């Protein structure tokens, strides 16, 4: 049974750095792309970025300048860091397992429980 | 800028069938079967219900089915049940992963 469990700080001030970690249980870390997706309150889903076991990453162009996704394969964990946050970054952040077709990640079959991150002064 | 457009809301009565559309502004969506659908109940993580247009993951009811015609993908839920009341999101790859804006389904 694949499970993703995530954690991280839930309340940040503007200009601080958002940091979340997701642990993968019941699955090999290799062979998939591990993904972050967010959902502002009352709004839709936004793909943030992904990483694989080799450390290869793909980022949403709109967030790339502030975004770092990293992985610790020895722990089967991957992390998200988003710098210089503003109120617009307030959202529920999800980690998920991405499935690939060629070079394209195109669906997400296992999700973490979500972490609400609020940015407020 | 590519986008996936869904109706904001739909409703149906128990036992009825409803169809949620997902229309892409880019013709790239029609090229590949890279469409997936997610169900999200309030306060919960999204759940994959269809991938590659019409494939169901293990454990997903066969009341959920999908299709695609040109740049429009569709999710059909047959035999509506109270627990189907949720938000539904389509997803595809168009020069990056895109999600539709979501459809709130109300079961009357």
Does position B32 have pLDDT exceeding 80, yes or no? no
Whether A115 and A10 have beta carbons less than 8 Å apart is answered as yes
Mutate to test the interface with B, among A37, A45, A59, A69 (most CBs of B within 10 A): A45
Q: Residue B27: what pLDDT?
A: 64
CA distances for A79 relative to A52, A68, B20, B50, B58, angstroms: 12, 8, 34, 27, 28
Q: Residue B28: what pLDDT?
A: 59
Q: What is the mean pLDDT of residues B66-79?
A: 94
Does position A11 have pLDDT exceeding 80, yes or no? yes
Q: What is the mean pLDDT of residues A4-8?
A: 97
Size of interface A-B (CB pairs under 8 A): 54
Q: Residue B30: what pLDDT?
A: 60
Work out the minimum CA distance from A44 to partner chain B, whole angstroms.
5
Q: Using CA coordinates, name the residue in chain A closest to B49.
A: A109
Q: Sorting pLDDT into bands at 50, 70 and 90, what band is B44?
A: very high
Q: Residue A17: what pLDDT?
A: 98
- Using CA atoms, how far apart are residues B16 and A9, in angstroms rounded to an integer? 44
Work out the minimum CA distance from A119 to partner chain B, whole angstroms.
19
Q: Residue B55: what pLDDT?
A: 96
Average pLDDT along chain B? 92
Reported as a single tens digit per residue, the pLDDT across A29-73 is 888 999 999 999 999 999 999 999 999 999 999 999 999 999 999
Query: Sign of the C-alpha dihedral, residues B54, B7, A63, A80?
Result: negative
8-state DSSP, B95: S
B97 touches chain A (CB under 8 A): yes
Q: Sorting pLDDT into bands at 50, 70 and 90, what band is B107?
A: very high
| B38:A94 CB<8 A | no
Buried b (16+ CB within 10 A) or exposed e, B72-87: bbbbebeebeeebbbb
- Using CA atoms, how far apart are residues B35 and B63, in angstroms rounded to an integer? 18
Nearest to A106 among B89, B93, B101 (CB): B93
Q: Using CA coordinates, name the residue in chain B closest to A61.
A: B96
């Amino acid at each position: 049974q694949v499970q993703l469990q995530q954690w991280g700080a839930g309340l940040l001030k503007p200009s601080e750095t958002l940091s979340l970690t997701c642990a993968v249980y019941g699955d090999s870390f290799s062979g998939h792309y591990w993904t972050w997706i967010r959902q502002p309150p009352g709004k839709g889903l936004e793909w943030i970025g992904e990483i694989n076991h080799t450390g290869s990453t793909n980022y949403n162009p709109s967030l790339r300048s502030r975004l770092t996704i990293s992985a610790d394969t020895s722990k089967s964990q991957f992390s998200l860091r988003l710098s210089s946050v503003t109120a617009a970054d307030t959202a529920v952040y999800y980690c998920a397992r991405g499935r690939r077709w060629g070079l394209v990640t195109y669906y997400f079959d296992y999700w973490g429980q979500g972490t609400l991150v609020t940015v407020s002064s | 800028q590519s986008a996936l457009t869904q109706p904001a809301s739909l409703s149906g009565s128990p036992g009825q069938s409803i169809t949620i559309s997902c229309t892409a502004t880019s013709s790239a969506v029609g090229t590949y079967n890279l469409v997936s659908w997610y169900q999200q109940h309030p306060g919960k993580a999204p759940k994959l219900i269809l991938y590659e247009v019409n494939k169901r993951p293990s454990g997903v009811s066969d009341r959920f089915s999908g299709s695609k015609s040109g740049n429009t993908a569709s999710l059909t839920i047959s035999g509506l049940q109270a627990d189907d009341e949720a938000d539904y999101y389509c997803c595809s790859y168009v020069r990056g992963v895109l999600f539709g804006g979501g459809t709130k389904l109300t079961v009357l």
